[in-house]
Amino acid sequence: MKIAFVYDIPYPWHKGGLEQILNVEARELAKKHDVHFFTMRWPGMKGEFTYQKVKYHAFGKATEEDAYKHGRRAIREALMFSVYARNLFKYDFDVIITNAFPILHLPAVKAYCRIKNAKLILKVDEIWDRKYWASYLGVIAGNMANVYANSLIRSSTAKYVANSSMTAKNLEKLGIARNRIREFAPVLEDSLLDEIRRSAKRRNNRIIFSGRLIKEKRIDKWLRVVKQVIERYGAAEAMLVGEGIERAKIMKEARRLGLRGSIVVRPFFKEKRELYEAIAESKVLLHMGEREGLSIITLESLALNTPVVVPEYSPIPEEVKEMCVVEKEERLADKIIRIMKGDPEEYISNKDNLKMFSTSNVVSFYENLLEN
């Protein structure tokens, strides 16, 4: 089959959870099919090139600053991508795989599938409600965007791939039949994870987290919990891995809390292997995020036998949350200290849930989806 992925932010030129999944899917499918990737042109990218057997078509220009404004997706960049998405019409594809966001490209993609008689697979990681759209764009514009976005998603003749049971339920609430929805999020590379688990060094009394440094990750709360643990369990330390608009504010808060000598704040690792080694050698991954469609870092940590501690309000899906240590926010420090003093692996439950996130299932999943 000839398959095109359509998404404006490519991995590894930008490191994010959704981008990582799309990269894995394109790479795995390219082992057997002719796979192309239509995207914006980020620093370090050529206009046309092949990477991991995937043929990339990059248009315009995009940077972190273009794609995100105030920690949120920028409308101008989404508009530019919707224009560049029309380059699809120069080619003939059997299948188009695209994400619902950034929304504005969907009319061009749908038109292509209708005219070229291509099958459309719409990947959905989050469904924003009216309240969130209003907080994003203001009440009037937010309400209009909510109606527009939901109508574009709902009116699609696509087959839907939701990244979790929670997202699948939200799609059903939009009126999409359950038999048109599949749940799939291939984020765990079994061979690499097995290798890291076998070679991991002794664990440190370290709390770790990795992710984009944006408001929704609630790193301010993360720092306060870290401070409580270090004050009460002097052997503890912390590592924060990430980049983003909140970095300067986070560094200032860390200094205010007196954590300068106890915490390492560093940019994303160049190689996933390095991140995995850091997680495997930590006692706990603490995740305080308040908006998560899935949380890949949580799954990766659990697969590396490093327990994940989350507050009760964490929005991660139940199939992920039931593998974590869930506690009231005011008791998180107590729980982390208890884990550090014991065997961390005893605090991971229902590990069989991890099987549904294996990258080895990509080709069989999509071939089955397209046949049925």
Q: Is the pLDDT of residue 8 over 80?
A: yes
For residue 71, name the pLDDT band (cuts at 50, 70, 90).
low
Q: What are the C-alpha distances in Å from 248 to residues 39, 226, 242, 244, 253?
A: 30, 18, 12, 9, 9
2-185, what's its fold?
Rossmann fold (3.40.50)
Single pTM value for the model: 0.79
Instruction: Give the tens place of pLDDT for each residue, 224-270.
Output: 999 999 999 988 999 999 998 899 999 999 999 999 889 999 999 98
115: tokens are: 């005219």
Instruction: Give the tens place of pLDDT for each residue, 301-350.
Output: 999 999 999 999 998 999 999 999 999 999 999 999 999 999 998 999 99
- Mean pLDDT for all residues in the chain: 92
Is domain 190-355 given the CATH code 3.30.1360.170 in the classification? no
Instruction: Give the tens place of pLDDT for each residue, 191-210.
Output: 899 999 988 888 999 999 99
Enclosing H/E stretch for 272? helix 272-280
**How far is residue 305's CA from residue 299's CA, in Å, rounded to a whole number?**
10
> Residue 369: is it exposed, middle or buried by C-beta count within 10 angstroms (0-12/13-18/19+)?
middle
Instruction: Give the tens place of pLDDT for each residue, 151-190.
Output: 999 877 789 999 988 899 999 999 999 999 999 999 898 8
Q: Are 315 and 290 in contact (CB under 8 A)?
A: yes
48: tokens are: 């046309």
Instruction: Give the tens place of pLDDT for each residue, 258-290.
Output: 998 899 999 999 888 999 999 999 999 999 998
Domain coordinates in residue numbering, the chain: 2-185, 190-355
